Amino acid sequence: DAMVIQNPRYQVTQFGKPVTLSCSQTLNHNVMYWYQQKSSQAPKLLFHYYDKDFNNEADTPDNFQSRRPNTSFCFLDIRSPGLGDAAMYLCATSRDRASDEQYFGPGTRLTVT
Amino acid sequence: RKEVEQDPGPFNVPEGATVAFNCTYSNSASQSFFWYRQDCRKEPKLLMSVYSSGNEDGRFTAQLNRASQYISLLIRDSKLSDSATYLCVVNPGGSYIPTFGRGTSLIVHP
């Protein structure tokens, strides 16, 4: 049974056209994360929520925004995608503190044309 | 020095071989450690947590060396299905934000 679900699995968008990626979880975890991963690189944390508290990484571009309307859902908004934003976007959750193990969704592969 | 460093490999080994990876971390206050496995174009999945006393799960053994600030993963009797990228994750104390290494690629061949 899927515990962290991401939609869509594949997204193609045009340069500059806003796009929203979604993540939902059935684990009732407090913490949700968004990562960007490019080929042969480590996942790069963009931001995370601890419950409703939003935490932005210092080097996350303003082009990336996030919303968490409730415990189960979290969204990643890319306001004006550039070619350099093409990547795999991974959503993850952890039960409480980030010291707990993380559970990842299958990812959304974003292509920017 | 990067916070978490791994040799990217690839490690190319025959079936049945024993292979070990290390991962070094810079923050001596780090509190928790994990190994994740990531298959090509898939999401990372937890392989094992790393405890101070070391832990073993079947063919996999993880160890923590706090004095030298590294964790290790040992895979015995490698299988073709072990081919993947192995990501080291370290949780530095205080910020509670997990930090990923770039991963070590393992290729097990017949």
For residue A99, pLDDT over 70 is answered with: no
* Contact at CB, B42 and A107, closer than 8 angstroms: yes
Burial class (CB in 10 A: 0-12, 13-18, 19+), B67: exposed
Q: Tell me which of B2, B3, B23, B43 to substitute to probe the interface with A (most A C-beta atoms closer than 10 Å).
A: B43
Please state, rounded to an integer, the average pLDDT across all residues of chain B: 92
| pLDDT computed for residue B82 by the predictor | 98
Q: How confident is the model at residue B94 (pLDDT cuts 50, 70, 90)?
A: low
Is the model more confident about A95 or about A110? Answer: A110
For residues B17 and A69, the answer to whether their CB atoms sit within 8 Å is no
| pLDDT computed for residue B76 by the predictor | 98
| pLDDT computed for residue B109 by the predictor | 96
pLDDT, one tens digit per residue, over A43-90 is: 999 999 999 999 888 889 999 999 999 999 999 999 999 999 999 999
| pLDDT computed for residue B92 by the predictor | 75
For residues A99 and A33, the answer to whether their CB atoms sit within 8 Å is no
For residue A98, pLDDT over 60 is answered with: no
Q: How confident is the model at residue B79 (pLDDT cuts 50, 70, 90)?
A: very high
> How many CB pairs (< 8 A) connect A and B?
46
Of A6-15, A22-31, A95-104, B58-67, the one with minimum mean pLDDT is A95-104
Q: Tell me which of A25, A94, A101, A110 to substitute to probe the interface with B (most B C-beta atoms closer than 10 Å).
A: A101
- Of all residues in chain A, the percent with pLDDT exceeding 90 is 81
Mean pLDDT of B11-30: 94
Q: How confident is the model at residue B72 (pLDDT cuts 50, 70, 90)?
A: very high
For residue B2, pLDDT over 80 is answered with: no
Q: How confident is the model at residue B29 (pLDDT cuts 50, 70, 90)?
A: confident
Distance from CA of A80 to the nearest CA of B (A): 25
Q: Taking CA B70 as the corner, what is the angle to CA A44 and CA B79, rounded to the nearest 5 degrees?
A: 80
Pairing of strands A10-13, A108-112: parallel
Distance from CA of A97 to the nearest CA of B (A): 7
pLDDT, one tens digit per residue, over B38-47 is: 999 899 999 9
For residue A38, pLDDT over 80 is answered with: yes
Q: How confident is the model at residue B93 (pLDDT cuts 50, 70, 90)?
A: low
